[in-house]
Each structure stands twice: as structure tokens, then as C-alpha cells.
Amino acid sequence: MSGRADAPMTTDRAIRERADALLAAMTDEEKAGQLTQYFYFGFMRDVPEGEGDDLHQPNQPGIVEAALSRGEVGSLLFVRDPAETNRLQRLALEGNRHGLPLLFGFDVIHGLRTILPVPIAMAASWDPAAVERAQAVAAREARAVGIHWTFAPMVDVARDPRWGRIVEGAGEDPYLGAAIAAAQVRGFQGEGIGAPEHVVAGPKHFAAYGAALGGRDYDEANPSDYELWNTYFPPFKAALDAGAGNVMTAYMPLNGVPATGNPWLLDEVLREEWGFGGWVVSDANAVRNLSTHGFARDLSDAGVRALQAGCDMEMAITDPAYAHLPAAVGDGRIDAATLDAAVRRVLEAKLRLGIVDEPLVDEERAREVLSDPAHREEARRAAESSAVLLRNEGALLPLDIGAAQTIAVIGPLADSKRDTLGPWCFDFDLDETVTVLEGVRAKVGERATVGYAPGIRPAQRTFPSMFDMFPGNAPEDPPHFDDEAELRRAAELARAADVAVVVVGEWQNMIGEAASRSSLELPGRQLELLQAVAATGTPVVLLVMNGRPLDLRWATEWVPAILDIWYPGTQGGAAVANLLFGGAVPGGKLPFTWPRSVGQVPMTYGHVTSHEPEKQDRRYWDEASTPLFPFGYGLSYASFAYDRLTLDRDRITAGESIRVSVEVTNTGRRTADEVIQLYVRQRHGRTARPVRELKGFERVTIDPGQTRTVQFSLGPDERRYWHPLEREWVIDAATFDVWVGGDVTATLGATFDVEGASTA
Ligand code: NOJ
């Protein structure tokens, strides 16, 4: 992270000295200001007095601008127009005696203007290099408009798909999650904080937010320490090892103690044990919520306890708890050194980023960057590599354009630009967003006839989403929509076609933050629509637009081809058309276990063997205990044979590594990607170990008839685990099984022994 010798202002020492000088000159009010981040919601200027709520506050921007003029704001979020970032930056500079600029943060989750596939989709690519490239595009666009820091990656392991935020992460597995987390950090930050065209990455939400009880967003999380260390922490640790400069806290109480006021979490684990030197930001209003949670006595106590726990910056809408910090220093509830340490971390971030010396952006250049066609290309490639082929009976896919004279595209999601983009995007350009219908039409051109019928109206949530307030976010209920006539028309269109492409899923406001569900069924009348189309006898290709597993039991029995396209982003329709017609070959794999029904959740492949393991498949008397699709699953237009699994040794000591190699042959007729996955099982140990654990993977491209040899190293890191009684990492002397294959059910295996147990 340190700069070159000829750039003294960016060396660690120069940064420290500059921060020292600033700290010495600042009042406690100015310091508290640096620790305060406000939303800036321009549109709230019009909320009438007395009509606001938590999110909509009268004259919110006016309140922020007044604080800016007093020099008491360190950071803003939600500003993304370069002219606006410049205007607000100038206000900040005029108001701050020390010339300290604002840090602009934003949720650049899967792209700014060019929208990439949602994060769960990118994880489904199992391709860290591709994920890194995609997030570098997001970073480039964000930095061009003046955003310095993204509230991403979201690295919360999610094992309960009722939780809406599963779409923002990498799924159920800590090993895959760690690899994807690190890749995202590299993409966002580039060479490190201050790298041109990059932004600071802030992994979130520390920690175990995904363990919300019942999958209900914001509900308490009570994971055991064993789960925390072995499941929920590893992606955070990987993101920090990759250099992430910021961490965001979680909303909920973690085993009783709110994460935002939890000194064990923020201080002992994050700073002491992991050596994190960046700054910690609270989630939005999470500091003030310490008092509404029944933890802090009042707003002032909330500020004191959050800062003392290790939360450096407060994200607030108005009325920050950190405005009370100067008084707390005055009456001795906070010591000056604690305040200074937090401010120093924020100042150092600003200095490293280079924005103290260059606070403004070039608006003309921002326009060029945002319209760079290379970004659209990257988004298309990312969408292609994310898709997961779930079923392909009789090799219905890829479709032969010449043979399919008439194609019926069906379902309201098939032509919904906003839903194609998915949740968590705000700066999109709908004009350049390609829907499935548009992608198919563009692809076939004159060669086939493409008809379209929505069939049903968009399904609605039972109550609105908090994101519906942003333009175009709420699904529109079309006027004059004759439900029965439209359903019949869709079936007729399908009957007359050679193939029906039906798009089903969840509308984008049905998933994401505050979008948990008690069911996994297809919302609205989508199943009925699908059944009506399938009943015509026309072959059906089902495209699933989703961010979590949905109940596809009927479809997996009756629909020959199912392709999970997730929310594929700006170029989604173009990517899907390439996949449908063979211009691209699906190679994604599921980053979660796909349950049959909601009653099975939470469900994860990495469970332990318990009583009567031979009845593992009969844990429910009314439903199989097996998933609909296993973790790591995904088909291809090619097929692959695995052979010659060899280990370089069959006996090692605890500190040694073993090399595993395998040969994979493409036995199909197309060049295609396969994600080669390695799983281990430790047969006995100081805890009961999971039946399988992912410990290696590689996505490779293989030509027809070609054999690729892939190697993995299984070292101490892959075998250690955190022991709940010893309360430390251990490596056991044990016998290990290894399997390599295309999903978690891989059968090609070998065995090795580790001698000499150790702590690690
Ligand atoms: C609340 C969300 O939990 C968090 O992920 C997000 O970054 C902030 N709001 C800011 O939008």
C-alpha cells in the first residue's frame, strides 16, 4: 500500500505525519464529524414537515448541508452523479477548516451504470478471475463519478434461502465464499487503496448476519462459536487478507450482543487477532439502534458504546449518535485517545486514497467511462459464465435457430428491464438494458419468428419494499389486463410455436434487503402459467430469474430444459440468447444446496453424520431429505469424464501438504467449461467432522476430446478447523477421504493419512 519513494505524500510515514498534524489541529466536534457518515437523499427535500419516518425525513439534505457547512461530516452515501459529488465536495471543503474532503461511499454491489449479474450469480461462475474483472469494471465506473468506497462485497454465508440477502452473497460455503470474497476485494481495490480507477472495499456485515433466525431479515443470530469460526468468519478473513480497507458491522445482536456494539467482535477478533488496520463503519442507523435494541440507555450511550467497541464511523440518516461524542469526551465517558484512534483511521484512508490532494472528479471523463463499451462486454461475459444449466433432457438445448421456426417467449419477467437487472442497483440505464425477449429477438433476427405473451400480470409483494421509493423499482400493475384472456393467449402462442421459452422467478423487489419470504414458491400465477404452456405439448425451456432457490419440483419433473439465469444484468438478454442458441455454453455451478421445499431449510451439504446415518435420506417422513439439486451442481452442453485421481503420497504429517491430481476429459462435442471440485472428509477427529467439505476448485475450459490434468494442494490450511472445546484451530491426525468431480456427489475418490496432531 505504500507509495513510491518519489511520491512522499503517500508513504506510510508521510501519511501518519499528516494525520498527526491534522488531529492536533482538530476540535472534538470536528473529529466527531469525521466519524459521521450521512445518507444524502436529494428527493427528501420535499418530504413535508411532520410526515417523515425512519427513512424519509423532512429536509434531510438540508440538514446534511448545514452540517457540511460546519465542517462536521466525514462521509456521504448515496450520491452518484459526478456533478453532485463535486458540488457537495466543494461545500465540504468550504466548511472544513482543515480542507478535509468527504469520502463518498455507495452500495456498488454489482455495478454502477453497467449492471453485472447479482453477486450470487457471479459466485455461481466459480471463477474468481472473472469476478475480479467484473468488480474492477464496477470500481472504475464508481470512481469516475466520485465514489471512493463501496459497501461490498457482502460476504455473509447464507444457509437459509428465506433470507432475502442470500442474493448479495456467495451462498452457503465458507471455502467458495472466501475465494469469491477475496476476488471481489481485488477487483474493487486493484493494487491497493489509492490505486487509480479503484475504490475501497468494505466487506459486510460483520458478522453472521446471514444466520438470522427463521431467515427473517435483521432478526437475531445465535450461531455457535464453532459455526462462527468455521463457517461465518472465513470469508471475512479472506477479504481482509486480500487487503480490504473497510468493514461494515451487522445490524443484529450476535449471541445477545449487538454486532455494532460488540467489543469482542470488533476489537478482539477483528483488530487484535486479525490485525485489521482499516476503519469500521456501522450499518445504516445501527449505532442509534443500539438504544432501540434495548442495549444502550440512550443515543449518547449508543455512540459511546459503539465507538468503544471499535466502530469508527457511524452511518446515519439524521441525528447521529456520534454528535454526542464530544460531550462524552468532556465528561470522561470516552478517552481522547479512543476518539483519536478512530479519527486517525478515517484520515489515513482519505490520505491514502489521494482525495485530500485531489478531491474533485472530471465530469466529462466520468461520462466517457460510464459509456465504455468494454464494460458492457464484461457484463455479458459475466452473465454467460454465471448461468447454471439445471436440466437438459434430450439435449433440447442449445436450440437450433434454423429448426426453431417459431419461438414463443412467455412470462412477464421475460421483458422486464428492471427485473433483469436485479436488486441493489440505482444508477442503471434501462434504455441499454437487454431483456430476454430483446436478446432472443436480436439473436434470431430474420431467421425465426418470435412471439411474446406475458401470460400473467407481475406478482406483487403483500406489502411494499423499502426500495420501491426509488423510481422504477416497484413492479407495475398493467392497466386493462384481462388475466384469463392473457393466460389463454400465452398458451395459444406456445401451442403454435416450435419451442416455448418461459421465464419465471421473483420480481427484483422480492429479494434483497428486507425481502425475506416464508415460502420458496413461484410468486403469483407463474406455476399455473408454466403448466398451461407445458400442457400444449410444445417443448419448454424454462429460464429462472432468481437470487435464491425456488420450488421447482413440478418443473424438474415436467419441463425438459431448465436454465438458471439469475438476475443477469444490463446485458442479461444478450447473454441468455447466446446460451440458448449455443453461442455460449453454460458452465456455472450452484453455490448452494437447492432444497425441494421450504420445509427443508436450512439445508447444507456440509452437515455431520449423526444417529442412524443410513437413514440420512429419511429425516422427514413426508419428504425426502435430499435436495432437489446438490451443491456444486450444473450441467453443460458437453459432458466430462473424471479419471486417474492420484495423490503424490498417502501419508503426511500435520504440517505437510499432499498433491492431488485428476484427469478430466471433455467427452462431448463442444468446447466447454467445467468446474472441477475437490471435497474432503476427515473420518474421525476431535470433533465430528462434516460428511464433505469443499477444499479446492478450478474452472477450466476443455476442448472436445481433450484431457486436462488439474492439480490441487491439500495443506494444513485445508485441514484445520476451529475446535469448540479447545477454542483454537487444530489439525487432527486422521484418515481423510478425497473426492474430485463436477459437484458434491463426486464419486471418484482416494484416501490418505495425516500423522501427528497439532494446533494450527
Ligand atoms: C443497509 C444495508 O444493510 C447495508 O448493506 C447497506 O450498505 C446500507 N444500508 C447502505 O445502503
Question: Is residue 419 among the annotated active site residues?
Answer: no
Contact 315, 283 (CB under 8 A): yes
The residue that leads in pLDDT, 357 or 760, is 357
Read off the pLDDT of residues 545-574 as tens digits, 9 standing for 90 and up.
Answer: 999 999 999 999 999 999 999 999 999 999
Q: Which of these three, 592, 620, 654, is where a domain ends? A: 592
Residue with CA at minimum distance from ligand 1 atom 9: 284
Report the half-sphere exposure of 266 (CA within 13 A, side-chain side): 30
Quick check: 748 and 642 in contact, CB under 8 A? Answer: yes
- Distance (angstroms) between ligand 1 centre and the Cα of 284 equals 6
Q: pLDDT digits over 38-84, tens only?
A: 999 887 777 788 777 777 788 889 999 999 999 999 999 999 999 99
Residue 80 beta carbon below 6 angstroms from any ligand 1 atom: no
Total number of domains in the chain: 2
Establish if 616 belongs to a structural domain.
no
Q: What are the backbone angles phi and psi of residue 378, rounded to the nearest 5°?
A: -65, -40
Cell numbers found for residue 210 = 446471514
CA distances from 427 to 39, 78, 218, 437 (A): 16, 10, 26, 23
Q: Which of 440, 399, 397, 436 is nearest to 636 (CA)?
A: 397
Residues 591-611 pLDDT 10s = 999 999 999 999 999 999 889
Distance from chain centroid for Cα 419: 17
| DSSP alpha helix (H) spans, 149-230 | 174-189, 225-227
Indicate which atom in ligand 1 lies nearest the CA of residue 204. 5
Residue with cell 488496520: 277
In a domain, 512, yes or no: yes
**292 CA to middle of ligand 1, Å?**
18
Q: What percentage of the chain's residues is helix, strand, coil (to nearest 5)?
A: 35, 20, 45
Residues 708, 714: Cα–Cα separation, whole Å = 19
CA distance 335 to 339: 7
577 and 717 in a common domain? no
Q: Is 5 exposed, middle or buried (0-12, 13-18, 19+ CB in 10 A)?
A: exposed
Decide: 513 in ligand 1 pocket, CB within 6 A.
yes
pLDDT of 529 reads 98
Question: Is pLDDT of 525 > 80?
Answer: yes
Residue 576 and residue 503 share a domain: yes
Helix (H, G, I), strand (E, B) or coil at 523: coil
Cell triple for 625: 431429505
Nearest CA to ligand 1 atom 10: 284
Task: Choose, from 28, 156, 283, 415, the residue flagged as catalytic.
Answer: 283
In this structure, is the dihedral angle defined by the CA atoms of residues 60, 303, 283 and 95, taken in order, positive or negative?
Answer: positive
Residues 507 and 572 in one domain: yes
Asked whether 204 lines ligand 1 (CB < 6 A), one says yes
Residue 151 CB less than 6 A away from ligand 1: yes
Residues 559 and 659 in one domain: no
Q: Assess whether 521 and 416 both reside in one domain.
A: yes
Is any atom of ligand 1 closer than 6 Å to the C-beta of 284?
yes
- Establish if 737 belongs to a structural domain: yes
CB 250 near ligand 1, within 6 Å: no
What is the maximum span of the chain, computed from C-alpha positions, in angstroms? 80
> Residue 5: what pLDDT?
37
Task: Say yes or no to pLDDT of 4 above 60.
Answer: no
Specify if 545 maps to a domain: yes
Candidate from 112, 151, 246, 511 with most ligand 1 atoms within 8 A of CB, to mutate: 151
Residues 6+ apart with CB under 8 A from 158: 165, 166, 169, 171, 172, 210, 592
- Write down which residue in 529, 563, 592 finishes a domain: 592
Asked if 485 and 584 sit in the same domain, the reply is yes
Ligand 1 pocket, 31 CB below 6 A? no
Q: Which atom of ligand 1 is nearest to the CA of 251?
A: 3
Give yes or no: residues 430 and 574 share one domain: yes
Query: Measuring from atom 1 of ligand 1, which residue has the nearest CA?
Result: 284
Q: Are 219 and 230 in contact (CB under 8 A)?
A: no
Structural domain contains residue 541: yes
CA of 674 to the centre of ligand 1 (A): 35
Q: Tell me, what's the pLDDT at 8?
A: 41
Q: What is the mean pLDDT of the chain?
A: 96
High-pLDDT (> 90) share of the chain, %: 91
Please tell me whether residues 726 and 580 are part of one structural domain: no
CA 97, chain centre distance (Å): 39
Instruction: Name which of 134, 182, 173, 176 is nearest 699 in CA terms.
Output: 176
Q: Does residue 165 form part of some domain?
A: no
pLDDT per residue as tens digits for the range 172-198: 999 999 999 999 999 999 999 999 999
CATH number at residue 442: 3.40.50.1700
pLDDT tens-place string over residues 200-213: 999 999 999 999 99
Statement to judge: residues 587 and 466 lie in one domain: yes
End-of-domain residue from the set 569, 592, 615: 592
In a domain, 609, yes or no: no
pLDDT at 10: 65
658 and 580 within one domain: no
- Rounded Cα distance between 203 and 233, Å, is 11
- What values do phi and psi take at 15, rounded to 5? -65, -45
Say whether pLDDT at 11 is over 80.
Answer: yes
Measured at the CA of 670, the angle between CA 665 and CA 674, to 5 degrees, comes to: 50
pLDDT in tens, 92-122: 999 999 999 999 999 999 999 999 999 999 9
Q: Whose CA is nearest to atom 3 of ligand 1?
A: 283
* 168 Cα nearest atom in ligand 1: 5
CA–centroid distance, residue 545 to ligand 1 (Å): 23
Could you tell me whether strands 499-505 and 406-410 are parallel, antiparallel, or unpaired per DSSP bridges? parallel
Q: Using one digit for the tens of pLDDT, what is the confidence trace for 383-394?
A: 999 999 999 999
| Closest atom of ligand 1 relative to the 152 alpha carbon | 7
- Residues 580, 656, single domain; the answer is no
The pLDDT tens digits for 328-350 are: 999 999 999 999 999 999 999 99
DSSP H helical ranges for 153-253 = 174-189, 225-227, 234-241
Give 513 Cα–ligand 1 centroid separation in angstroms: 8
Q: What is the CATH number of the domain that holds 718?
A: 2.60.40.10
Determine the atom of ligand 1 nearest the C-alpha atom of 209: 3
User: Which stretches does DSSP call E strand in 617-727?
Assistant: 640-647, 651-653, 658-666, 672-682, 693-702, 707-714, 721-723
CA of 478 to the centre of ligand 1 (A): 31
Domain limits at 532? 383-592
Tell me the per-residue pLDDT of 241-286, one tens digit each, with 9 for 90 and over. Answer: 999 999 999 999 999 999 999 999 999 999 999 999 999 999 999 9
Q: With CA atoms as reference, report the closest residue to 115 among 341, 330, 433.
A: 433
Distance 460 CA to ligand 1 centre (A): 23
Position 235 in a domain:
no
